[in-house]
Homo-oligomer: A and B are copies of this chain.
Amino acid sequence: MADHDETPFDGDGDKLREECGVFGIFGRQDAAAITTLGLHALQHRGQEAAGIVSFDGKQFHVERHIGQIGDTFTKQSVLDRLDGSRAIGHTRYSTTGGSGLRNVQPLFAELSEGGFAVAHNGNITNAMIIQRDLQKKGAILTSTSDTETILHLVAFSQEKDIVSRFTDALRQLQGAYSLVALSSKKLIGCRDPLGIRPLVLGDLDGSYIFASETCALDIIGARFVRDVKPGELIVITDSGLKSHFPFEKSPSRFCIFEYVYFARPDSTVEGGNVYEIRKRIGLELAAESPVDADMVVPVPDSGTPAAIGFAQGANLPFELGIIRNHYVGRTFIQPTDSIRHMGVKLKHNANRRTIEGKRIVLVDDSIVRGTTSQKIVQLVREAGAAEVHMRVASPPTRSSCFYGVDTPETGKLLASRMSVEEMAEFLRVDSLEFISIGGLYRATGETERNDEKPQFCDACFTCDYPTTLADRDGTDKVRTLSLLAANS
């Protein structure tokens, strides 16, 4: 997140960030081009880098590039190098440090029985402990990536066939993972026992597909078959699909924030349509925290579905009082003092003619550090709003996520250090209300949160982590690497 703090105008630094999207297809001409399209639809899950591994029946081909799919993987020369009818791909949010392309997935290893590539969405919470053990056995780690850890566990496994070795490796992991893997004979998709991250199974004219969300099926006209189940490992070969459940059965704990913000509104994951759930959150919120106002204004674009729901529930006009500039450069000006004082509005602008003199209900999906919300409120006030009432489509975000989401440290989360009243004052709003945790569960279709056995992972709101956090519990919190930076 640190690198986003450095872009002072960039409101997006104030969002939780899904770190990855994955995709895989087996047995279809132009597998890499189709994977490129799938990753393009998953771009919101990770915009900084992407990779594709294809297999042509004899050899694997790897391409990894920094930048957005639509810029880096759409050149014919790149696709031409990715020959084959099987491919997996990965898009990621951030390549930390100077490590450049080394951490871009899919990762590939030459095992004694052939090549093996893996792409990972999630985060292993005991990776550092495993890494220390691997190193003692003679493994040469080239990165701190928890995905590389999985590869080494597979390489060291004494099992014979690749599925057994992979399963052997997975059993040593704690945390969240939706994985897509490719060997010379098999395409594998699997989710951790709790099913924290999404993974769906699709079908394109008889070719199986794995993807993080259904929107990656829609873009290519593939049919949604079903969600991969928590703890399920599906193996695709020339003979078709085979399902395994290698782990002890445990109740599902799907990440509820996927519904709040991460997933695309047109996706349907774990049975719920994202847009419809978000709109219902707005409806619940209007019922829980009504307000006398002239119009409902979304913080675009993430607040829009909940704002539509709120407006419908509250029977208020829905108005685009804030306009978002979709052109956002990679770098942005290091502002001089004189510019800093101008309060530059790079990303959002209020529409004075619409807002002036009006009582506004401002709807956003979440409040993380609060810096963006503060700016948005100021924007609306400067444009002449008479009153500003903020309604938030998720409960207060209080704790960090360790399951593959880029969260600020707990101390930087506004809700971890302020009460709702203090937050209202900090944001300078006339009123501030968050959806209740119960309201959020109701919007997903549950009747209420089962506090004994919560139906979702909602640790960022409740601190109720569904797995152990071995690496965090140890004394040496961060494994120190001898290598500072490798520019290569």
Contacts and interface: CB of A to CB of B under 8 A. Distances in A.
Interface string A331-343: 1111110110011
A484 B141 contact: no
A1 interface: no
A138 B110 contact: no
A342 to B, nearest CB: 5
Interface in A445-488: 481-488
A115 B483 CA distance: 7
Nearest to A77: B487
A363 interface: no
A481 B59 CA distance: 8
5 contacts: A71-B330, A111-B135, A138-B139, A139-B140, A266-B350
Given A59-B481, A81-B485, 17 more contacts: A34-B339, A59-B484, A62-B483, A64-B488, A69-B327, A74-B332, A108-B483, A110-B135, A112-B136, A138-B139, A139-B139, A219-B345, A265-B351, A266-B323, A273-B353, A312-B317, A326-B326
Contacts of A75: 331
Interface stretch (A37-45, A172-180, A413-421): A37-45
- Integer count of this chain's copies in the complex: 4
B30 A336 contact: yes
Given A43-B325, A137-B138, A155-B140, A332 B59 contact: no
Contact of A76 (B74, B334, B342): B334
Interface in A273-295: 273, 275-276
Interface in A47-88: 47, 51, 59-65, 68-72, 74-76, 78-79, 81
A325 B40 contact: yes
B138 A156 contact: yes
Nearest to A72: B329
A349 interface: yes
A320 interface: yes
A319 B29 CA distance: 37
A272 to B, nearest CB: 9
A17 interface: no
A125 interface: no
A328 B70 contact: yes
Given A40-B346, A327-B43, A482-B60, A354 B110 contact: no
A104 interface: yes
Interface in A284-311: 301, 304-305, 308
Nearest to A326: B326
A250 interface: no
A218 interface: yes
A142 B139 contact: no
A248 to B, nearest CB: 26
Contact of A30 (B59, B112, B325, B339): B339
A252 interface: no
Contacts of A273: 351, 353-354
A336 B327 CA distance: 30
A33 interface: yes
Contact of A101 (B37, B157, B349, B488): B488
Given A62-B487, A69-B329, A221 B343 contact: yes
A225 to B, nearest CB: 15
A455 to B, nearest CB: 20
A136 B137 CA distance: 13
B140 A109 contact: yes
A318 interface: yes
A362 interface: no
A114 interface: yes
A215 interface: yes
A186 to B, nearest CB: 14
B41 A333 contact: no
A366 interface: no
A399 interface: no
Nearest to A9: B37
A139 to B, nearest CB: 7
Contacts of A351: 265-266, 273, 275
